[in-house]
Amino acid sequence: MSNDSKEKQDKDNLTAKKKKFRYTLFSTILVLILFAALVGAWFYYQSDMGTLLAIKEPSDISILGPDGAEMSSIDLNYTEDEKTGDQVTVKRVFCVQTSADKHWLEIAHTTNLKGLTFNIYKVSDDGTETVTDEGHTYKYDRKAIGGSYLNLNSDKTGSDYKYADNSYHDKNYEGINKDQVQIHAEPAYWLVSQPLATNKTNSIKNGKTYRTYYVCEVSWTETTKETDIFYILAKIAE
């Protein structure tokens, strides 16, 4: 190979590597923008409790996983044991850690999963149901906590998929036209109907902070396209 040919090949390889890096970086930025946009939208409107400002550290409330482990989102990966036919049902445990008497819970999720439904149950020592998550077993009663969606598209209620309307689009994707956002990437927001009492029988940190445990049960129909972002948020009830 001549020096000129080798030099040209080296330049082509370098250009290809740069393009690959740019594409990877762009994909990463898109994901981060989505997360950041969602966080910016959660708890924003105090008038309807839909998005009461994103929680910033330090804060006196946090969402943790089983046994108080760090958790950033709900893991919807599942096993064959969590399937009945093409119906998937997963149960995940989380807790709200706070010193406040009461708190709000909100769920925000994208809408790619077909037939998506969920319920939240409060963990109780005298519960009749059990669930094991990350090696820890909890009891709960199958009485779902009341709540409702804030921004479902009422024109598509008969669909197998949930669709969010454009109520919070400008907060989710500031400066981006709604026609440029894939319809299932518009997050739907669900809020509990009233503040939830903190379990003050489960204390940590010298009795000044408490953990209230919940079971989140999520169901959907298995398809080839199964990717959703599913977040649970908490805020102190003033």
Question: What pLDDT was estimated at residue 238?
Answer: 76
Instruction: Using 50 as the pLDDT threshold, list the residues of the chain that sit under it.
Output: 14, 16-58
Residue 46 confidence (pLDDT): 35
pLDDT of amino acid 53: 34
User: Do 104 and 192 meet the contact criterion of CB atoms below 8 Å apart?
Assistant: yes
Q: What is the pLDDT of residues 43-57, one digit of tens each?
A: 443 333 333 333 344
Reduce the secondary structure of the chain to three states and give it as a string. Answer: CCHHHHHHHHHHHHHHHHHHHHHHHHHHHHHHHHHHHHHHHCCCCCCCCCCCCCCCCCCCEEEECHHHCECCCCCCCCCHHHEECCEEEEEEEEEEEECCCEEEEEEEECCCCEEEEEEEEEECCCCCEEEEECCEEEEECCCCCCEEECCECHHHCCCCCCCECCCCHHHHCCCCCHHHCCHHHCCEEEEECCCEECCCCCEECCCCEEEEEEEEEEEEECCCCCCCCEEEEEEECC
The overall pTM is greater than 0.85: no
pLDDT at res. 4: 55
Residue corresponding to tokens 């739907």:
188
**pLDDT value at position 86?**
92
Predicted pLDDT of residue 224: 66
Q: According to the model, what pLDDT value does residue 37 have?
A: 40
